[in-house]
Amino acid sequence: MAFTERDRTPDPRRMLRAYEAAATTLRLIADRPVPGPAARDVFVSHEALLMDYESPLTREDSRSRRAYAGSGHLLWAGERTREPEGRTSRSCPGSPTRSP
């Protein structure tokens, strides 16, 4: 894939295909027979690049009323998204916002 502005424009259809592929992969990993306990914990992590895609997957915990990410166990604000007052930094409060 080229790295042109057109190729890097968010594409909801491509995001849905990626989401479906990731969900299928996680199901295959979780369902894979392994010795020992029957259940396997699978954890998912990714950089929260596009908050317009992350926001609809955000849920509220019914007991604590705190928001949590439905798209992964650990979202982070990386080099491309870590503006201290930016939307991603506010949504990923544990992510560093300054260079070390």
Q: Tens of pLDDT along 27-40? A: 888 887 776 655 66
Structural domain tally of the chain?
1
DSSP codes, 2-52: ---TTTTS--HHHHHHHHHHHHHHHHHHHHS--SSSS------EEE---HH
Write out the binding residues for phosphoenolpyruvate.
79-80
40 domain residue, yes or no: yes
Residue 96 is assigned to a structural domain of this protein: no
Quick check: is 97 in a domain? no
Domain presence at residue 80: yes
Q: Which domain holds residue 41?
A: 12-91
Establish if 69 belongs to a structural domain. Answer: yes
* Residue 7 belongs to a domain: no
Annotated binding residues: 79-80
Kindly tell me if the per-residue pLDDT of 42 is higher than 90: no
Residue 39 maps to a domain: yes
Residue 67 confidence (pLDDT) above 50: yes
Q: Is the pTM of this model over 0.75?
A: no
Question: Distance from first CA to last CA of the chain, Å, rounded?
Answer: 32
Pairing of strands 58-60, 67-69: antiparallel
Instruction: Give the single-character DSSP code of 76.
Output: E
pLDDT (mean) for 43-47: 82
Predicted confidence at residue 29, as pLDDT, reads 84
Give domain status of residue 44, yes or no.
yes
